[in-house]
Structure 1
């Protein structure tokens, strides 16, 4: 047998050829500029600001942020607008001051009727598909009650900061139904046994219980919420946008796929996508040169 050729370590790539114009890059930069210019706007039921490195989505349907189809479509559209925005590092989801005491009480009663359930579920799941496709870390800031679809939304996010007054509810079993997304998400977030108890009983859990079971990352007093969120956003915002996207994708794939397949997918992304990024090369150069990397988000 002929011996296998040893794999070569990745080489640092040189910068692009000076003076050479790539039309595709020019078009992409034009699209990104347009997205930035339109990044800050108010929809009917949400506020959206993607003018900086954070895509900030604020649910604003006072007082309880009860989700209807139009609101869900607005949320999906806002997240989808980040598809070309490699400079955006993070998506932050919270509720407006007008909704004090509530993150979201979930889908309205009309969403459970036979006439609306298919449209409502499609609109609801479109938000999660958009979050998955954009592949940017998502931080939920929960200050109050998160119930039903509102609790599922928080559970699906990658990071959750909650105030001491926060409460999570999945009461669907008491209505003779169950949360289809929650039944898939919770076992992967808090484990199957805790997920079974949460969904089978429909009992609410407070912020400390959520912290103990791994549903939230931190519980803070309401007075310390802004400082805590700003600090975490700043730390994540200092990293390379494309690298954050690839890391999110690997962790997401690893959470939802069998281990062997997840490992293979992770290896493929690491070798064939991560090392194609200028930022991964810059990170290696900075390590060798013992300096702080300067990200280009490419």
Structure 2
């Protein structure tokens, strides 16, 4: 598929963007660690917000501009430490950082389009949180993941939110309490990633997944993603009551009428997003 460049890939651009049809690719470009500085988080959030309002975007891929070593090393510890000299010992800046991080992660979860993490390298601390916040995650067989805050006296409490919603509790606690790095196969076993592959196939496999999802009704995907995360926080009875109402409203949508009709008539559906 032809790559459509949306913006100039200037060397100092924190988030590079590319389009392949309905698939938007966001590449973190803050070497060497792709640290989640204030500027990086603001840039990412701006791109996700823009994607939310762009009907031509069906799926978003989040990757590193320079793959192979670090996907994302989490918060910029040097940036955080620099504010300890302030009168409040950095409290205001720490609060701003954590608030913005929470907003970014929730923006990904609430985005009405699926987000796929394409990981080639190490995803650590808030970088691991970023992976866990995405709807799908694909990685190379040399990738690794960790929440090592405990090693430096700073428990990964905010990464814990996303991590504990993706993997079993004891496995999440294992990562959080030991701070040790897990390899790609362990991450898949834990439920943190969907697929593992050699580096040379990562881009094309992720793009293929994105194109498959992008071929579905955008309205149906939006409804399904929102319902998935909402019902996950409910009791069993409330989840069934809520999703039953979602199904009814979904059935009344034009795309559902078209999709069911196309299935019965054995033809390809034509989605309108309504």
Query: For 2:102 and 2:229, how far apart are their aligned partners in 1?
Result: 16
Structure 2: segments with no counterpart, 5+ residues: none
Match in the other structure for 1:80: 49
8 Å CA contact 1:63–1:100 kept in 2: the answer is: no
Aligned CA RMSD, in angstroms, stands at 2.1
- Secondary structure class of the residue paired with 1:219: strand
8 Å CA contact 2:109–2:135 kept in 1: the answer is: no
Matches within 5 A, 1:114-193: 114-115=89-90, 116-193=93-170
Match of 1:222 among 187, 196, 199: 199
- Secondary structure class of the residue paired with 2:13: coil
Residue 74 of structure 2 corresponds to residue 106 of structure 1: yes
Paired residue total = 260
Matches within 5 A, 1:177-216: 177-216=154-193
Query: For 1:212 and 1:124, how far apart are their aligned partners in 2?
Result: 27
Match in the other structure for 1:11: none
Query: What TM-score results when the alignment is normalised by the length of structure 1?
Result: 0.81
Shift of 1:203: 0.8
Match in the other structure for 1:8: none
Query: What TM-score results when the alignment is normalised by the length of structure 2?
Result: 0.87
- Secondary structure class of the residue paired with 1:256: coil
Query: For 2:17 and 2:74, how far apart are their aligned partners in 1?
Result: 19
Structure 1: segments with no counterpart, 5+ residues: 1-36
Match of 1:288 among 248, 251, 264: 264
Match in the other structure for 2:30: 61
Query: For 1:135 and 1:249, how far apart are their aligned partners in 2?
Result: 7
Query: For 1:170 and 1:135, how far apart are their aligned partners in 2?
Result: 28
Cα–Cα, structure 1 residues 177 and 133, in superposed 2: closer, same or farther, change >3 Å? same
Residue 255 of structure 2 corresponds to residue 279 of structure 1: yes
- Secondary structure class of the residue paired with 1:296: coil
Query: For 1:248 and 1:185, how far apart are their aligned partners in 2?
Result: 16
Answer with 1 or 2: which has the greater Rg.
Answer: 1
8 Å CA contact 2:137–2:194 kept in 1: the answer is: yes
Shift of 1:222: 0.7
8 Å CA contact 1:86–1:242 kept in 2: the answer is: no
